[in-house]
Structure 1
Amino acid sequence: MSLPHPDHTLLRLRVIVPFLLTGLIWGSTWWVITDQIDGVPPSWSVAIRFMVATPAIFIVARLMGKSLAIGKAGHWLALAVGIAQFCGNFNFVYRAELHLTSGIVAVMFTLLIVSNAVLGWLLLGQRITRNFVIGTFIAMAGISLLLWHEAGLNPLGGSIPLGIFWAALGILAASIANVVQANETGRALPMVSLLAWAMLYGTIADLALAWFTAGPPTLPDRTTFWLGIGWLALAGSVVTFPLHYTLVREIGAGRAAYNGIVTVIVAMLLTTMFEDYRWNALTVSGALLAVVGLVIALRARQAKAQPVPTKPMASES
């Protein structure tokens, strides 16, 4: 009896549902962040988000029957991942959205696969293929067109170069977390248990950073802020992470990373609807180039087995 073609695994509900759900949720989080930083210091918004998410992810780990004992090496790894991912990455992302529309930041974050590949090459000796380089340059050309249009409009009245700078730091921080957690210690631990401890350490760092940079917290009384906290913490952090990494183990990191395309489409749709983003020939060309380049780069990454994930541990955001 012949085995089904591997591509048929993509058509199963256990694959399709988490694939689309993570893309849709992560796509929405970029826009929700815009309300989180409206009159609230970004660092406090991040800290409050993970103060809610952290106990929830510990509960999820226990409900999944995973041991929370990860050993000394595991805790050192969780500390590194927590500071890079749940403190550095998110604080940089929130600051980037003070200057750039949310959809543009989401598109920029597709370049995470580039920094993953470069760090994987430098630290783990992984080969970078020619098609990956080609896809990367195509995606970067598309993103450059989108940023050019953004600079011309400057819709948020902020600094476009500063927004790019913060987004670039966010990509680098997320990529460091990706590479670090892919070591031998990380691969031996249950992902949800590592995530729980990493989120706890990241939350502690978030609180320290928020107090140092913005002083005591000032909590808004806007209903939208607290609804957004609930969505970002529970849906955008607690629900999606276990789903995504289950998906990675089901179909592989390369194929799972294609939900980044769903993420970008959703993020740009919400930017268009709620941030008054204006499309023209330049932006349409840029978006198409970014998606085509991403597909080419991801297909190149898929050609070789790679231990470094092509998606952020929070990806998204």
Structure 2
Amino acid sequence: MNENAFEVRKVAVIGTGVIGNGWISRFLAQGLEVIAFDPGEGAEQRTHAAIQQAWPSLVHIGLAENASADHITFVETIEEAVKDADVIQENVPEREDLKKSVLAEIDRFAKPEAIIASSTSGIMPSQLQEDLQNPGRMIVAHPFNPVYILPLVELVGGQKTDQVTIERANAFYSSINMKPLIVQKEIEGHVADRLMEALWREALHLVNDGIATTEEIDASIIYGAGLRWAQMGPFLTFHLAGGEKGMRHMLEQFGPALKLPWTKLEAPELTDELKEKVIEGCETHAGESSVYELEVKRNEFLVKLLDLVEEYWHEPMETAK
């Protein structure tokens, strides 16, 4: 089948908690029709309230020509929700047994060409595919809160996921102004959450050991690493730290420090193979831009971003004691 012929007009959302309602708001803003199912009492009312809260931000970002907050229908069964949907977004609580049961029911009633996507933040798709009759059309599509603003979505195929499903999912999420990250090899927690968890664990150690307060740790990210990461991420940030020779010099100079007991996390062995993978990745990512050119762009970006942070961060930061 030609993935380019795959057209999405109707989306089903199963589970309308924080993530489900975030998806609903984004889908509606992109002009899609949404059919929603959630057996929880008051779910429909909470969804409409969530849409109302999200809509001003979506208006600011930009609505599709045919977008409407009213293009949503709640139904009473999963079968009703998914039977005509082109994409089904599952968002039930993060329990493997529950997700597998719900996904099996979705699979039973969804039309054959529909994509079934799970928003799971940690479970691998191969586990979720085990009870499906048609596992090839199931994929993980993991977003970040608030889904209606943040563009990243991690796409993870399982052992039985068809390549055409990955291609169609990539095209679909791109079409609704998201930035799909296709994870090449499934792993618990995918990519972004594993990175955030590492920082989170170390932050908890710092608080537990009386090194810094939660406010001070937040400030260290807001006014330090976070400003740089928002533009370049950790690898290009360190690429610039190496001066004219970029990551190559950075690893030569600071690589040994990875084994110093600064953190509670054990670093990987910095083999020559790993060094070259990191160096090559950074140099490829940098493209034709020299370190100087990247520094100019970074500095211009940081000045503007710092003004933005100050605009939305009204309380003054207390000096660390």
Using the size of structure 2 for normalisation, the TM-score is 0.23
Looking at secondary structure, tell me which structure has more strand per residue. 2
Looking at secondary structure, tell me which structure has more helix per residue. 1
Which structure has more relative contact order (CA 8 Å, sep 6+)? It is 1
